[in-house]
Amino acid sequence: MENGLTISNDVTVKTAPQTRKRRKSALSGNVWQLHALLLLPMAFLVLFNLVPIAGLRMAFLESYNYRLGIWGSPWGGLTQFRYMFTVLPEFWTVFRNTLVIAVAKLVFGFPVPIAVALLLNEMRSKKTKKAIQTAIYLPYFISWVVMGGILKNIFQANGFFDRFLGVFGYTPSTLWLQSNSSFVPILVVSEIWKGFGFGTIIYLAALTGVDPNLYEAAEIDGANRVKQTLHITLPAMMPVVILNLILNLGGILNAGFEQIFVLYSQKVYDTADIIDTYVYRLTFGQGTNYPLGTAIGLFKSVIAFILIGGTNLVLVKKTDYRIF
């Protein structure tokens, strides 16, 4: 079946050798069409993904001279990295913040879609289930700018949250989004709220694959719903759960740039400033220190690359699953 012959076996048997050869060449003669289709998307990838990688020379510059460009500016070797690891006071703060926020989101957010998928799975009424699904997928499609606007409104002084607390007789005087103790919890909860519904899709799909006979057999054996969930439903979800968890570990340095960018302010830099927001301020905000910003960004990319590549290696060795 080499050379792209997609004719099935029984057809090839029936055809005479000569026509078979002609047809084979007819399709393999068309392989250029496949390469032609790939030309345009590949050109895009090379231009917008690979060329910027060459531009990473920026991270190794002594300093950036706008007139001389990336290729003409003076080479500085590891100057930027040395500066960032040993001198720059903010670096370890933003690195720690990034990890704390991302880990908190993973620990608290990861189980939520699994639990909701299990709950939805127990629903008998198809219509109610469908309506609930429609509602909980919606926030995923709303931008962080819009979400930021909604959250700012909820957490403003005397906003919905304050009035809600007022019902219980508690009158706070905190500006929730400007306090280091409440900012990160708000990040975690709003991230979960935006994504949990969409996250259930993949788990629900895994559950539709479970053989209903298993439940019947379990019922005859006297297993109640809790036992059925523990011994049938959960094991059926396990492969997807593990795959998802490993994928999430790979992105552990992505603490959520857009979300933090629209919500944070100088007052919460101590806990909320992450690598991405810091790089943005270094390069577009207060200054234009391109080499340093690029170096910090590169540091993050390399760690992410190692994490994802490493987890994929583990996957290939231990399970049938792989990311690619």
| Binders of other proteins in range 240-259 (CB under 8 A) | 257-258
Half-sphere exposure for 49 (CA within 13 Å, toward CB): 6
How many beta carbons lie within 10 A of that of residue 254, not counting itself?
A: 17
Q: In this chain, which of 13, 16, 18, 34 binds other proteins, going by CB under 8 A?
A: 34
Q: How far is the CB of 86 from other proteins (least distance, A)?
A: 22
DSSP 74: P
Q: How far is the CB of 48 from other proteins (least distance, A)?
A: 5
Does 266 participate in binding other proteins (rule CB under 8 A)? no
Q: Which stretch binds other proteins (CB under 8 A): 79-87, 92-100, 170-178, 291-299?
A: 291-299
Q: Is the dihedral of CA 278, 283, 284, 285 positive or negative?
A: positive
Q: In this chain, which of 25, 180, 181, 301 binds other proteins, going by CB under 8 A?
A: 301
- Residue placing its CB nearer to other proteins in the complex, 184 or 295: 295
Q: Which stretch binds other proteins (CB under 8 A): 86-94, 98-106, 130-138, 174-182?
A: 130-138
Q: What element of type H or E holds 302?
A: helix 290-318
H helix runs in 138-282, sequence order: 144-155, 160-167, 180-208, 212-220, 225-228, 234-250, 257-263, 269-272, 275-280
Q: Kindly tell me the burial class for residue 291, based on how many C-beta atoms sit within 10 Å of its own C-beta (0-12, 13-18, 19 or more).
A: buried
Q: In this chain, which of 101, 102, 116, 272 binds other proteins, going by CB under 8 A?
A: 116
Q: How far is the CB of 3 from other proteins (least distance, A)?
A: 7
Residue of 305, 301, 302 lying closest to 323 (CA atoms): 305
Half-sphere exposure for 318 (CA within 13 Å, toward CB): 10
β partners of residue 75:
61
Phi, psi for 61 (deg, rounded to 5): -90, 150
String marking each residue 81-110 x if it binds other proteins according to CB under 8 A = ------------------------------
Does 113 participate in binding other proteins (rule CB under 8 A)? no
Q: In this chain, which of 309, 314, 316, 319 binds other proteins, going by CB under 8 A?
A: 309
- Residue placing its CB nearer to other proteins in the complex, 71 or 92: 71
Q: How far is the CB of 180 from other proteins (least distance, A)?
A: 20
Does 71 participate in binding other proteins (rule CB under 8 A)? no
